Amino acid sequence: MMINLKGTKKIALFTHIRPDGDALGSMNGLALALRKKGIEVDCYCDSEIPSLLSFLPNAGSIQNGALNNYYDMMISVDCADEFRLGKYKDIYLKHANTVNIDHHMTNTSYAKHNIIKNLSSSCELVFEVIKSLNIKMDDEIALNLYVGTVTDTGHFTQANTTSGAHLAAAELIKYNIDIEDLSQKLFKEISKEKLMLIKDCITYMRFFSLDRISFIGINQDMLQKYNLDINETEGIINYAINIQGVMIGICLTESAKNTYKVSLRSKKGVNIADIAAMFGGGGHLQAAGFMINGCYEDVVERIIKECEKALELV
Ligand SMILES: [Mn+2]
């Protein structure tokens, strides 16, 4: 048993700000499972739920207001550090009974009980937790966990696509999951507005270090031009890293004046997790991110400089 639920009646679940498929899949899957144990579960996330993922069972019940109950236990999922809890950080850290379930090896072990495992996704880990609690799986839990498993492995294409990821998916797919419909929603369809934004991103893409670093910058004007939200820039970084010969791809998005969300991707052998950590962020060896403040060109220069250092180490 990975979590001791003895005497636990009410649990608050949290996941990271700007949640992705793994964040929401693992939180929803765990919430639905714990309720089958007769536990009252409320889910909180300090961000809007991306409309693309609102179809996930339980997504509609995720709250982003003040906590509305007393809880015996607080569990965070897919949340590598306490700051990623957003406004729930302090209330979480103050609680006497916190559990941190995560697959990021950069996790800061900020809870009383930390379940950190180097698995493909938090959903794969939550699947293990659910099994250890002897909770019977169902279609809704399976769909949530499956979505995290496929999205966090980039549709089973990234380095974290382990046999464990496939085994979890193989078990989950036995439940009622419409793979064709899901793939259409998650990986194929794109809005016209996002496609037009990508067109602009490619037009203004910059290259550094003899084309080994590619850089995409997205400012508020570009988002407003197509009436898009910062959450809808997900995946655009792939246009940078997928170029032949490029070793590091960067996508810098202006979230507010002089504030930027930076995503980094690298090809095998180039560690960008350390760069993200240096700027106060985190992630994996080949996919990481952080927030940074400053004037645009200064920020770009600082990031490029660190990326160039990382390339020298290769
Ligand atoms: Mn994840």
pLDDT in tens, 239-267: 999 999 999 999 999 999 999 999 999 99
What does the pLDDT average to over 143-157? 96
> For residue 234, is pLDDT > 90?
no
Nearest residue to 243 (alpha-carbon basis) of 208, 200, 192, 193: 208
**C-alpha closest to that of 19 among 75, 71, 62, 66:** 62
* CATH architecture group of domain 10-187: Alpha-Beta Complex (3.90)
Measured CA to CA, the distance from residue 284 to residue 264 in angstroms comes to 10
Q: Where are the domains of the chain?
A: 10-187, 192-312
Q: Which of 71-80, 279-288, 296-305 has the lowest mean pLDDT?
A: 279-288
Longest dimension (CA), the chain: 61
121 alpha carbon to ligand 1 midpoint, in Å?
Answer: 5
Rounded to the nearest angstrom, the gap between the alpha carbon of residue 105 and the centroid of all alpha carbons in its chain is: 14
How far, in Å, is the centroid of ligand 1 from the Cα of 103?
Answer: 7
Separation of 296 CA from ligand 1 center, angstroms? 29
Query: In the predicted model, what is the mean pLDDT of the chain?
Result: 96
| Residue 153: partners with Cβ closer than 8 Å, 6 or more residues away | 120, 121, 160, 161, 165
Read off the pLDDT band of 231 (50, 70, 90). confident
Residue 81 has pLDDT above 70, yes or no: yes
Cα of 287 vs centre of ligand 1, distance in Å, is 11
Q: Using 50, 70 and 90 to split pLDDT, how confident is the model at 1?
A: low
Looking up tokens 């499972």 gives: 33
| CB 112, CB 4: distance < 8 Å | no
Asked if residue 250 lies in contact with residue 287, where contact means CB atoms within 8 angstroms, the answer is no
d(CA 15, ligand 1 centre) in Å: 10
Q: Tell me the per-residue pLDDT of 12-31, one tens digit each, with 9 for 90 and over.
A: 999 999 999 999 999 999 99
d(CA 127, CA 141): 9
What is the 210 CA–ligand 1 centroid distance (Å)?
32
Residues of the chain with pLDDT > 70, as a percent, come to 100
Residue, of 51 and 100, whose pLDDT is higher: 100
Q: What does CATH list as the number for 192-312?
A: 3.10.310.30
How far, in Å, is the centroid of ligand 1 from the Cα of 203? 31
Q: Is 146 exposed, middle or buried (0-12, 13-18, 19+ CB in 10 A)?
A: buried
Positive or negative, the Cα torsion across 165, 167, 171, 176?
Answer: positive
Q: Could you tell me the pLDDT band of residue 292, with boundaries at 50, 70 and 90?
A: very high
Residue ranges with CB less than 5 Å from ion ligand 1: 22, 78, 122, 152
* Beta strand segments in 209-294, E: 213-218, 248-256, 259-266, 282-283, 287-293
At 133, give phi and psi (nearest 5°): -90, 5
CA of 107 to the centre of ligand 1 (A): 11
**pLDDT, mean of residues 195-207:** 98
Rounded to an integer, the average pLDDT of 278-298 is 94
